[in-house]
Amino acid sequence: MMFGMLMGISMLVALLLQAHLPGITLLGGARWPVLCSLVLYYALNHHGVAGAVCAFACGLLIDSLSLVPLGYSGLLLCLMALSAGACRKHVLPEAMVTASVFGGLGAGLYALLLYAMLANQGVQGVSLGVVVARIAGSGVLGAITAPPVFFVLARLHRALELGDKEAQHRVNA
C-alpha cells in the first residue's frame, strides 16, 4: 500500500515539475523528461509490473495535459518500461551512469517515436530542423534529469523500507 502511495505522489510531483519547468529554446524547446525518468526508475529498480503500471499512468497524465492524442505516450512509455525491464539483469540499476544512459536513450527514443507517430497521422507541424533539435535536446535533458530522479526515489524507497525484495536477496547472498 505504501509503495503505491509513494508511486502516486512521485507521479504527481514529477508531473508538476515536467509541466512547469521551462523548455530550453536552444534545444528545440525540449521539455525536461521527469516522468520518463520516473518510469525508467520503476522499470529498472522494481520487479513485476511496477514499471508498466507507472508507464501507463504517466502516459495518461502526459497525454491529458498536452495536445498529443490520448494513448500515444502511454504506449511509448509502456514499451520503454518493458525494454528497460528486460535489461534489468544486465545492468547496475543503482549506478548513476546507468540512470544517465537509460535516461538519455529513453527520452531521445521517446521523442523520436512520438514525432514519427504524429507525422504518420499528419498532425506534426514543425520543420525538420526543430524536430531534430528537439529529439537531441530530449536525449540530453534525459541524461541530465534521470540521475537526480533515480537518486531521490532510491533514497525515499530506502527510507520507507520499500526496496525490491529480490534485489535484497541478491545483494545479501
* pLDDT, tens digit (0-9, with 9 covering 90-100), for 57-89: 999 999 998 888 899 999 999 999 999 999 988
Residues 6+ apart with CB under 8 A from 47: 88, 164, 165, 166, 167
Task: List the domain range (segments joined by +) for residue 41.
Answer: 2-22+31-166
Domain membership flag for residue 150: yes
What are the residues facing 24 on neighbouring strands? Answer: 30
Domain membership flag for residue 173: no
Domain membership flag for residue 110: yes
In this structure, how many other beta carbons lie within 10 angstroms of the beta carbon of residue 152? 13
Q: How far apart are CA 107 and CA 113, in angstroms?
A: 10
pLDDT at 94 over 80: yes
Q: How far is CA 95 from CA 38, 102, 130, 148, in A?
A: 15, 11, 33, 11
Least confident among 78-82, 107-111, 120-124, 154-158: 120-124
C-alpha dihedral over 146, 153, 13, 108, to 10 degrees? 20
Confidence of residue 169 (pLDDT cuts 50, 70, 90): very low
Q: How many domains does the chain have?
A: 1
- State whether residue 30 is helix, strand or coil: strand
pLDDT digits (tens, 9 = 90+) for 141-159: 999 999 999 999 999 999 9
pLDDT digits (tens, 9 = 90+) for 7-65: 999 999 999 999 999 988 888 888 999 999 999 999 999 887 899 999 999 999 999 98
Spacing of C-alpha 96 from chain mean position = 15
Domain membership flag for residue 93: yes
Domain membership flag for residue 95: yes
| DSSP secondary structure, 78-95, as one string | HHHHHHHHHTGGGS-TT-
Nearest to 115 by CA among 91, 99, 134: 134
